[in-house]
């Protein structure tokens, strides 16, 4: 069974707005992250949205996704780090809801944000 669609829906419908009380802007930013991730999975990995599984959130896949955002989409380091934060938040939630994904989520939670160039 594919748990990803259910977990993602619960994350956006129950967890972010109700349990965390996140603002609409935060929820939209997190949504944009997953829209981009699904686009990446389709264009770079050949995996359509309905076939994305929790197992696709392994370290190498997330790292490649973040690199793709910077190189193909031209996003800033700050936006890249925001996308990583959204994925970490989702996987932290998943680790509590579905302990079978705890090792998967722990690996991503240890990923470091990319250092930004300081402004003069």
Q: How many CB atoms lie within 10 A of CB 48?
A: 10
DSSP string, 40-83: HHHHHH---GGG--GGG-SHHHHHHHHHHHHHTS---HHHHHHH
Task: Tell me the pTM.
Answer: 0.91
Confirm whether 61 is domain-assigned. Answer: yes
Residue 59 falls inside a structural domain: yes
Give CA angle at 87 (107, 52), nearest 5°: 90
Q: Is residue 114 part of a domain?
A: no
Chain centroid to Cα 31, Å, comes to 9
- The answer to whether residue 82 is domain-embedded is yes
Range of the domain at 75: 4-109
Give the model's pLDDT for residue 119.
63
Give mean pLDDT, residues 107-119.
Answer: 79
At 62, which CATH number?
Answer: 1.10.150
- Asked whether residue 42 is assigned to any structural domain, the reply reads yes
Give a yes or no: residue 116 inside a domain: no
Number of H helices, E strands in the chain: 5, 0
Contact between 107 and 59 (Cβ < 8 Å): yes
> What radius of gyration, in Å, describes the C-alpha atoms of the chain?
14
Distance CA 29, CA 21 (A): 15
**Total number of domains in the chain:** 1
Instruction: Summarize pLDDT for 53-94 with one digit per residue, the tens.
Output: 999 999 999 999 999 999 999 999 999 999 999 999 999 999
pLDDT (tens digit, 9 = 90+) per residue, 29-61? 999 999 999 999 999 999 999 999 999 999 999
In this predicted structure, the answer to whether residue 111 has a pLDDT above a threshold of 90 is no
């Amino acid at each position: 069974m594919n748990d990803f669609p259910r977990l993602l829906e619960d994350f956006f419908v129950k967890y972010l707005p109700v349990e965390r009380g996140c603002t609409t802007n935060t929820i939209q930013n997190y949504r944009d992250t997953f829209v981009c991730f699904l686009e990446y999975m389709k264009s770079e990995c050949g995996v359509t949205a309905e076939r994305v599984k929790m197992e696709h959130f392994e370290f190498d896949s997330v790292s490649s996704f973040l690199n793709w955002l910077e190189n193909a989409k031209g996003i800033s380091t700050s936006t890249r780090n925001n996308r990583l934060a959204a994925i970490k938040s989702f996987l932290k939630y998943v680790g509590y809801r579905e302990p079978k994904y705890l090792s998967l989520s722990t690996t991503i939670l240890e990923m470091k944000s990319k250092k930004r160039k300081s402004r003069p």
